[in-house]
Structure 1
């Protein structure tokens, strides 16, 4: 099947972060000439630092600095040789000290935690193992698992901290895999919550094949005996547990740590360890700092430092409890997350807190869902109770100001983060400016002249076209073949339309826009679970329409009020239909209201190009060829379309017989079966029969000369000024031998010219084939809001399998 353009996850993230950068809340530059941990100088302003992860505040401890200078003076800037050949003497000293922190368990030191994960996962995981990732496990763990897939290792993902789902995966894979690894964080870096240690220990003892792999980067140093962290004491007796951590954060240095409960595993990793053998060691100054830190953690001083931080945590927890904010974090960690919901509230809140002289982090998509963003901050020993008072006052004040200014529903935010709501609603009545909303559940409730005045020459969703679509996608047996229809018209007090659109609510495949190879893998799973990775989706437009689905009267003075009301109605529809995904499409580059959508928490994603032929004047094949400047394209049309046209009988009909309807559906199903580039559920089998009853639709039927069997068909909506082919059906046997697809494209365009249409919508995909005829590829995009990113993360995990 013809290829289509797919969106890139990196492009989406790039766009989200670039927007935050423009608002000066992310990708900021620090300007201080000397760092003391207490402040960050940003935009020439000294901000109290609530954003870094040096929890014990050891970055400038004199003993650590002295040891760093000592090794720098003794060994120079770098010991440039891989440890597989020669291991630096100071590295041996460091590993011995770190081992003492972890109750004399053997350790290996890496240049970073990320390198540690690459080495460990690449070394200890075997092809016949199963990896189960927690949804929130750090990206540095997930990334090397992509490479484990390449050797045949199965990688799955569970919802965050879902022990029920974890045990289900263990049971289902127990007889299939040699080992089952659950990979999780010791302290989750975004929300500041913890894994379920008791339940994991229970599963570890219950299932001999079950193993645990922890990234405790955010848990080591500030807690545990000698700073061994939040997990080690709990799991140190099991040989089925691997612990990875860092010399950064709580240690005040840099580098990665692997702690082993299994001596043989340690031997294997130490002797080779994959990437470990090919990377240079930490620099002497870094190792010196780590040695100084380790000596500090092994002394009695660590108790004082840990207690000082915990006293600050208790003070901050008490203050936050008094505010009753949407704090989702555990009281046991120095990481805090205040949920704000939509991006507009989060951005507003962050800007306000920064303006109050406090540096905090922005938690945004993709690490959190785009309607579950928020303010994240960390607590270190550099902070004081006075700092905390300033922070709590600023967040408490500005949280409500941001919610109020962005006209958001406070109670909705609390519900989003499952925090009990005790206050009063702060949502204000929208300043409608005399805009009035009309909603309908069927096109039959709307005056046809009114609707067609807005949409009749834009795709197949004229008034009568929508009557047809409603009939097709109603009263069917399968849940995915039944759609809800929702019409929205917003007017002013003089009854002038400012905004209009329609939505459909339906079950979508979440991989609809994924790469073909990913959808093919997912479809294998759907052979057992038909609705695997599917979500109830509220979409502007539908899966059977193409064109600009949103009418906006741009010159109207109340357009912004109408857009505000549009978002409110979309949110209400989302709730009423039980949808977890909202997708608003199809927009083009000249769309003026991008910021409005972005502020509501929508992420901009690329859609397949829309191919359109406009202002075509040729009447004959000769004139058509003469209008094409490329000799190569002219040659292709002659060879694949014009030369073969005499081989076929071409019939154009507005009404199909029962037998023709059945055959046309078979040909469509044949194409649909092979097409994973745009992956959606098959349309109901009654669709050709219904289309036959509506005068706007006609069918191009292609048969071999003198034969009865239809080998290709095109189902076309003919508007007054445009032609919109909706479906192409092909017989595989004639695709290569008779170039039947190229012939079908030519007949569609030829028919549009016979009817003298101003525009021929050529659909998505096969850009090259349609551009031969001078079709213009118009980039389109959509706005997406996902309530829960779990399914999308599963789909991303299918990459490289």
Structure 2
């Protein structure tokens, strides 16, 4: 019934990357008229290239360029026909050369590595297989795995390189499936880390049903016999190991390839293989370059190039260690990640390095956790040791400067990435000094806060008045279930004269990570929760609570110290998060363009769309006709007449200030009906005592709906009454009457009517069902939340569950 606008993974990426683009550190346009690998031309300046993945520098090799030109002259720019009809001689030659490179194993070449994954996964995976994805396996692997769900294949995910979790999952599912596929990267593209092939060999020996599927695109060329890559060098290919690699990156060209030791897998893929047959083959230009690269890989030259890159890697590792930089990458790969922490620090850090004339990459959430973003760079044979000296000197100088300038602690950043900070004479570390004119008050109960002060700020913001908070604290304490017990954390910032500058509250509670996920995802997860009730749940520190909505923060933005008050707020949140061991922090609900929005993004929080809020602010109306005259939509007017007014006389509606225990139980059951039916906003049900507690407080009332002549309660509204507003927070329904009597539409009308009858300036109609509320002229206001997570595994797992 209730529909909301769901937050989408791509929306988060869009927000983060758009912000980085505006800062000039991502989606940069280069201006060079020719490229030899050493430098980019950006905004009229030449920048040393530490950003591309052509590790061996073969993309500018004269043999590859000559091969590309020669084959283009012979065969033109393309062969516009499916491989299912004709496989030209030059592609046959390339695949035969690649087969030699992989010791005679069969190879199929594709226009891209992504196309190879789409082709192979769709062909070799069966409905009775199980796929287990490493959390950080490349998106080009994860995407086609989602499509296998359509044939009934189950897809699971394990934490990154967590082999204990992998083995446990193999054991638990071993007798349920014909084959179990573990899919991972040979070299991970963000941190440059490597899989533990020794453990994987042991697992292969121990579990005959286990198969390995690797994307080794970043391992190709620079390592192994014939440059066949990291995985082939360590594990080889077998009937239980499939390797997908690349003709790009270290290989120096464009395209992808699949390597098979299993002849039947090869045959089935070669005969159709999805995009292998319904899309264009590699162009002659690409194949000409690839043939030349393959011949280099089959010659002794490949070992010279590997040795030259290895020498640069050793020198880079030595320099990073000397400079005590927060490098968390493997010393055995040419991909490096220097941790800098918060997004705002990383943007500052990267911008500083770009200004020094060195091009590097930015790595931010959601690819890495919010507080663990960093500067990523790659090493190629185009670089020199002098380039390495310039880069490492620049990073050592600018990392602490960027941290300090953004108000973070250098010591904290180093600790976050597992490093001990070494104080040096040429590196003076200065902690930011807070303005002492502000006084911070922290509380864990509303009872310790002055009623007049709190109500001055919050009495007309939903149900978070002083009395409303007392009620909330009573409901969510002293309960048996962990998810029903919340901790409350209040912060009030004043100046020395006692003037209020900032105030808000947070609650610590167990949240379902799929709270605003797609409904089909939550349904899948709820099946698991029948036996594992806290599956994909996290201890969360959230602004406001799940028993209220609206504007939870008071700010005097005219006060000269309000920005400093926000710094105190961030310190408060960090401290409370640690005290309650929360893994997720959420700031909500913010309208677009608010004062705090950019500060939250700079602090490392990721912007995400929340459900809209809906507010009625009509002038007073006395008759139904006057109500309809306030509405602009003829369709809405006709709908209300047809489905609301027509059925109104079939209902008895009662308003009560207090409920008996028996009545409260009936109300709660109707609430549970709605809760169980609605996956659009998925949270744990409120405690059973909720209605009984509400009945004790004078600012709550209850609307009850019955069919005329019947004693059966079929609908209810729990209504908070403020001084100048009304807030119908919770609805309960008997779904048997939804279609026959249009019960929900009747309840919606009474939400609006009751607020009007009480003479309130505003009625907060709550989240979800925007369309129904807009019929009465409600203004739907888009809300945004800001999210920070310690570990992105749960988010990645949720993404993998979506269809």
Smaller-chain TM-score bracket = over 0.9
Matched residue, 2:410: 410
Matched residue, 1:121: 121
Which of 693, 712, 723 does residue 715 from structure 2 map onto? 712
Matched residue, 1:654: 657
Matched residue, 1:97: 97
Q: Quickly say closer, same or farther: Cα 1:242–1:451, change in 2 above 3 A.
A: same
Which of 590, 610, 630 does residue 633 from structure 2 map onto? 630
What is the SS of the residue equivalent to 2:478?
A: coil
Superposed counterparts of 1:40-119, under 5 Å = 40-119=40-119
> Contact (CA 8 Å) 1:58, 1:252: kept in 2 or not?
yes
Q: Deviations over 1:532-557 (max 9, x none)?
A: 00000000000001110011111111
> C-alpha distance in 1, partners of 2:570/2:660?
45
- Which runs of no fewer than 5 residues in structure 1 stay unpaired? none
Matched residue, 1:456: 459
What is the SS of the residue equivalent to 2:181?
A: strand
Which of 522, 526, 546 does residue 543 from structure 1 map onto? 546
> Contact (CA 8 Å) 1:236, 1:261: kept in 2 or not?
no
Which of 437, 440, 447 does residue 437 from structure 1 map onto? 440
Matched residue, 1:340: 340
Aligned CA-pair RMSD: 1.3
User: Does residue 723 in structure 1 map to residue 726 in structure 2?
Assistant: yes
> Contact (CA 8 Å) 1:408, 1:427: kept in 2 or not?
no
Which of 768, 773, 791 does residue 770 from structure 1 map onto? 773
Cα shift at 1:263: 2.1
Which of 761, 764, 775 does residue 764 from structure 2 map onto? 761
Which of 681, 686, 690 does residue 689 from structure 2 map onto? 686
Matched residue, 2:507: 504
> C-alpha distance in 2, partners of 1:794/1:565?
34
Cα shift at 1:166: 0.6
Q: Deviations over 1:322-370 (max 9, x none)?
A: 1222111000000000111110110000000000010000011221122
User: Does residue 599 in structure 1 map to residue 602 in structure 2?
Assistant: yes
> C-alpha distance in 1, partners of 2:477/2:377?
50
Matched residue, 1:476: 479
> C-alpha distance in 2, partners of 1:313/1:8?
39
> C-alpha distance in 2, partners of 1:215/1:25?
28
What is the SS of the residue equivalent to 1:371?
A: helix
> C-alpha distance in 2, partners of 1:645/1:65?
80
- Which runs of no fewer than 5 residues in structure 2 stay unpaired? none
Matched residue, 1:788: 791
> C-alpha distance in 2, partners of 1:640/1:271?
59
> Contact (CA 8 Å) 2:237, 2:259: kept in 1 or not?
no
Which of 608, 611, 614 does residue 611 from structure 1 map onto? 614
Matched residue, 2:21: 21
> Contact (CA 8 Å) 2:464, 2:548: kept in 1 or not?
yes
Cα shift at 1:84: 1.2
> C-alpha distance in 1, partners of 2:543/2:596?
16
Superposed counterparts of 1:494-533, under 5 Å = 494-533=497-536
Matched residue, 1:695: 698
Cα shift at 1:28: 0.5
Cα shift at 1:421: 4.7
Cα shift at 1:620: 2.1
Cα shift at 1:632: 2.4
Cα shift at 1:630: 2.7
Matched residue, 1:574: 577
> C-alpha distance in 2, partners of 1:78/1:790?
43
Cα shift at 1:775: 1.1
Higher alpha-carbon deviation: 385-394 or 296-305: 296-305
Cα shift at 1:423: 4.9
> Contact (CA 8 Å) 2:404, 2:432: kept in 1 or not?
no
> Contact (CA 8 Å) 2:51, 2:360: kept in 1 or not?
yes
> C-alpha distance in 2, partners of 1:530/1:240?
36
The TM-score with structure 1 as length reference comes to 0.98
Matched residue, 2:309: 309
Matched residue, 2:138: 138
Cα shift at 1:754: 1.3
Cα shift at 1:500: 0.4
What is the SS of the residue equivalent to 1:15?
A: helix
> C-alpha distance in 2, partners of 1:73/1:457?
76
> C-alpha distance in 2, partners of 1:759/1:89?
75
Superposed counterparts of 1:205-220, under 5 Å = 205-220=205-220
Matched residue, 1:238: 238
Q: Deviations over 1:392-429 (max 9, x none)?
A: 00011111111111121223223333345555994614
Higher alpha-carbon deviation: 158-167 or 739-748: 739-748
Superposed counterparts of 1:581-592, under 5 Å = 581-592=584-595
> C-alpha distance in 2, partners of 1:210/1:368?
29
Cα shift at 1:780: 1.1
What is the SS of the residue equivalent to 2:768?
A: coil
> C-alpha distance in 2, partners of 1:497/1:90?
76
What is the SS of the residue equivalent to 2:142?
A: helix
User: Does residue 750 in structure 1 map to residue 772 in structure 2?
Assistant: no
Q: Deviations over 1:213-267 (max 9, x none)?
A: 0010000101101101111132226320001110111111111111112122222
> C-alpha distance in 2, partners of 1:273/1:631?
54
Matched residue, 1:190: 190
What is the SS of the residue equivalent to 2:441?
A: strand
> C-alpha distance in 1, partners of 2:420/2:246?
36
Superposed counterparts of 1:149-188, under 5 Å = 149-188=149-188
Matched residue, 1:276: 276
What is the SS of the residue equivalent to 1:66?
A: helix
> C-alpha distance in 2, partners of 1:371/1:680?
26
> Contact (CA 8 Å) 2:237, 2:243: kept in 1 or not?
no
User: Does residue 267 in structure 1 map to residue 270 in structure 2?
Assistant: no
> Contact (CA 8 Å) 1:432, 1:565: kept in 2 or not?
no
> C-alpha distance in 1, partners of 2:433/2:178?
59
> C-alpha distance in 2, partners of 1:508/1:203?
35
> C-alpha distance in 1, partners of 2:618/2:636?
19
